[in-house]
Amino acid sequence: MEKETFGKEKPSVKGKRTAKEKRLPEEKKAAEEKKAVEEAVGLLEVYGLTCAFLAADAGCKAADVRLETFDKNKPANADSLPVPLLVTVKFRGSVAAVEAAMEAGENMAKSLTGVVQRHIIARPTGDTEKMLKLSAFDKS
């Protein structure tokens, strides 16, 4: 005999998800996007991939931040640069944490090949958020 449940969805059958279970990933994604907009982002542009890895490692160890992504750029004047590839390291977290991570990452990068530029955006707009998630490393 099947037990009646009033006001509750029936448990999902193996392999099939209820409407609520289907909404959960979408709600989780929306919550993560809202949280991301409330966080600061730090952009640290350095010469070379190895330098970027070491700067990212130093930044993440120095503060409670997430490493969002790397982005690469090969400028037209690449032959005149110390290393022909520029890499942007993107940190996420509170403004204070991102500032600490940026300082540690910048110090590491300066001891290696150098820093091109650094910027912190305290609360990026939604449109800026979309662009921050892009990475040239995703392209073949």
- Ranges of each domain in the chain: 41-130
Q: What is the pLDDT of residues 91-122, one digit of tens each?
A: 999 999 999 999 999 999 999 999 999 999 99
28 versus 3: which is more confidently predicted? 28
Task: Give the pair of three-digit tokens for residue 18.
Answer: 């209820």
Rounded Cα gap, residues 60 and 70, in angstroms = 14
Rounded Cα gap, residues 60 and 107, in angstroms = 13
Of the candidate CATH numbers 3.40.50.150, 1.10.3720.10, 3.40.50.11440, 3.30.70.1710, the domain formed by 41-130 belongs to 3.30.70.1710
Give yes or no for residue 80 having a pLDDT over 70. yes
DSSP 133: T
Helix (H, G, I), strand (E, B) or coil at 16: coil
The mean pLDDT value for 68-73 works out to 88
pLDDT confidence of residue 96 = 96
Rounded Cα gap, residues 51 and 47, in angstroms = 7
Question: Could you tell me which residues come within 8 angstroms of residue 50 by beta carbon, excluding any fewer than 6 positions away?
Answer: 112
